Amino acid sequence: MADVLEDLRAAVDGQAGGATRADTVAGMPARWVARPGTTAQTSAVMRAAAAHGLTVVPRGAGTKLAWGAAPEKVDVLLDTTRMDALVEHAAGDLICVVGAGRPLDTLASDLAGAGQRLGIDPARRGTVGGAVATAATGPNRLHHGSVRDLVIGMTLVRADGVVAHAGGKVVKNVAGYDLGKLLTGSFGTLGVITEVAFRLHPAPEAQRWVSAPVDSADGIQQRVQAVAHSQVVPSALELDRSGGGATLSLLLEGTVPGVEGRTAQALALLGDSAGSSDEPPAWWGTEPPSEHGVLVKLTHEISGLSRLLEAVDGACAATGLSARLRGSAVVGTALVGLDGEATGERVARFVDHLRRRASSFGGSVVVLEAPESLKDGVDVWGPVSALGLMRSVKHQFDPERRLAPGRFVGGI
């Protein structure tokens, strides 16, 4: 297979080589790593892969590479980290265009100088491309919307090497299909994202967190509803809950006098034990810990929260596992980290218990990450609505299943 490496090297200006033991995707080892520095080189990699019949998985910083199902085969890891340019930051227009390989933290410092920010704040601070490809979510989503709401343009390389653009550099734009939304959260199965244009927001003048301990599921539900229907307009409302109890914490952002006034209102809403701080709680914006590295993503209708919490408690009781939950209560997403004597069979039962109750909280249950030993026999993505259409989309974009085959829903 010397000619493969030769062709890959030719495609990326020599920046390709054999994979090491660290180059795995959800436990599946790769054979080669190619590091294109441009969209054109990415296209050349895809064409070389097509010529040799190789599968390709895109990778940024690799922080979420274990998410999803294991791909059937990983011939080439396409590393985007050399495509890390800040192509454009038009501060007056509140937009930026950035290479997929630029770290989120680097971009955050780029923007901070102009008093701006990108409203994407996931716990895993990898690259821009990784955040988009996995639709990574964080507390500020309540205020700024999800990743797909902030993507206004995209450059992608198709499985056959064709380079395509969608959207543009202006926030308001309805010309053509919004492929940026389709590619967001597609886990590298439809194309390789090489450049993204984002809508930005001004950084707030003032921030304040208001937090309160809450004991019961019903108490959590009542306070979340009270905040949701109030006029305090939090930028985020986060819940941290383990067997020992729970904390609700909301973030207020705005002008100095505005935040001061709203803090008083928020304290009243959260009850006598509430307090406020200029610093976030230590757990703010982080994933729940799990000694086994098992992370389950749950979604729910806003008012389904207490039923979701009851279902999690039920799943713990039924399996002997313990769960730590962190979630964005008014967005309707949560992550659960599992602890206790975990076996593959117990994890599977935990997930099954929740899925059987998913209609009660109106959401879905996805095993985001778990070690191979605990993933066995677990359907990580679970039931999927409109799967036929999704297969059809995949077939059109990647008929030969070259991109991350098997990693996404329904074996896509």
Partner 1 sequence: MDALALAEQLRPVLGKDAVITDHQRLRTYECDGLAHYKVTPALVVLAESTEHVAMVVRACAAHGIPFVARGSGTGLSGGALPHAEGVLIVMSKMRRILEIDRDNQRAVVEPGVINLQLSREALPQGYYYAPDPSSQQVCSIGGNVAENSGGAHCLKYGFTANHVTGVEFVTPSGEVVQIGGKAPDAPGYDLLGAVVGSEGTLGIATQVTVRLTRSPEDVRTLLAAFPDTDQAGAAVSAIIGAGVIPAAVEMMDVLAIEAAEAAVQCGYPQGAGAVLIVELDGPAVEVQHQFDEVEGYCRANGAFEIRIAADDVERALFWKGRKSAFAAVGRISPDYIVQDGVIPRTSLPSVLRRISQISAEAGVRVANVFHAGDGNLHPLVLFDDSVEGEAERAEAVSGAILDLCIQNGGSITGEHGVGADKAKYMPRMFTDDDLDTMQLLRCAFDPASISNPGKVFPTPRLCGEVPGRHKGVHPLAEAGIAEVF
Written as six digits, the tokens of 294 are 């098992």
CA–CA separation, 223 vs 303, rounded Å? Answer: 11
- Please calculate the CA angle 109-113-116 and round it to the nearest 5 degrees: 80
Query: Minimum distance between the CB of residue 386 and partner 1, rounded to whole angstroms?
Result: 4
CA–CA separation, 274 vs 268, rounded Å? Answer: 8
Selected from 162, 317, 318, 376, the binder of partner 1 by CB under 8 A is: 162
Angle between helices 344-356 and 305-319 (to 10 degrees): 150
What mask, x for binding partner 1 by CB under 8 A, covers residues 209 to 248? ----------------x--xx-xxx---------------
User: Residue 103 or residue 188: which is nearer to partner 1 going by CB?
Assistant: 188
Selected from 24, 63, 184, 319, the binder of partner 1 by CB under 8 A is: 184
* Residue 40 binds to partner 1 (criterion: CB under 8 A): no
What mask, x for binding partner 1 by CB under 8 A, covers residues 348 to 367? -------------xxxx-x-
As a whole number of Å, the CA-based R_g of the chain is 22
| Candidate segments 92-100, 101-109, 243-251, 348-356, binder of partner 1 by CB under 8 A | 92-100
Query: Minimum distance between the CB of residue 185 and partner 1, rounded to whole angstroms?
Result: 6
User: Residue 6 or residue 205: which is nearer to partner 1 going by CB?
Assistant: 205
Residue pair 78/42 in contact by the 8 Å Cβ criterion: yes
Q: Are strands 275-277 and 56-59 parallel, antiparallel or unpaired?
A: unpaired
Q: Dihedral angle at the C-alpha atoms of 391, 397, 400, 404, nearest 10 degrees?
A: -80
**Residue 281: how many other CB atoms lie within 10 Å:** 14
Q: What share of the chain is helix, strand, coil (3-state, %, to 5)?
A: 35, 25, 40
User: Residue 331 or residue 342: which is nearer to partner 1 going by CB?
Assistant: 331
* Residue 173 binds to partner 1 (criterion: CB under 8 A): yes
* Residue 386 binds to partner 1 (criterion: CB under 8 A): yes
* Residue 302 binds to partner 1 (criterion: CB under 8 A): yes
Type and span of the H or E element at 220? helix 217-228
CA–CA separation, 181 vs 174, rounded Å? Answer: 13
Selected from 17, 168, 281, 293, the binder of partner 1 by CB under 8 A is: 168
* Residue 89 binds to partner 1 (criterion: CB under 8 A): no
* Residue 81 binds to partner 1 (criterion: CB under 8 A): no
Selected from 35, 102, 201, 241, the binder of partner 1 by CB under 8 A is: 201
CA–CA separation, 118 vs 109, rounded Å? Answer: 10
Closest by alpha carbon to 375, among 386, 366, 364, 388?
366
Written as six digits, the tokens of 337 are 């980290």
| Candidate segments 84-92, 119-127, 239-247, 340-348, binder of partner 1 by CB under 8 A | 84-92
Q: Tell me the number of residues near partner 1 by CB under 8 A.
A: 90
Residue pair 328/137 in contact by the 8 Å Cβ criterion: yes
Kindly identify the residues of this chain, within the stretch 53-72, that bind partner 1 according to CB under 8 A.
none
Kindly identify the residues of this chain, within the stretch 247-276, that bind partner 1 according to CB under 8 A.
254-255, 257-258, 260-262
| Candidate segments 31-39, 119-127, 268-276, 298-306, binder of partner 1 by CB under 8 A | 298-306
Kindly identify the residues of this chain, within the stretch 102-161, that bind partner 1 according to CB under 8 A.
115, 135, 137, 145-146, 148-149, 156, 158
| Candidate segments 9-17, 125-133, 346-354, 390-398, binder of partner 1 by CB under 8 A | 390-398
| Residue 185 CB-half CA count within 13 A | 14
Lay out the sheet containing 236-242: strands in order across.
275-277, 206-214, 245-254, 236-242, 322-328, 333-339, 295-299, 365-369
| Candidate segments 27-35, 282-290, 348-356, 382-390, binder of partner 1 by CB under 8 A | 382-390
| Candidate segments 25-33, 172-180, 279-287, 342-350, binder of partner 1 by CB under 8 A | 172-180
DSSP class of residue 245 equals E
Selected from 14, 53, 395, 400, the binder of partner 1 by CB under 8 A is: 395
Selected from 297, 346, 353, 357, the binder of partner 1 by CB under 8 A is: 297
Query: Minimum distance between the CB of residue 9 and partner 1, rounded to whole angstroms?
Result: 26
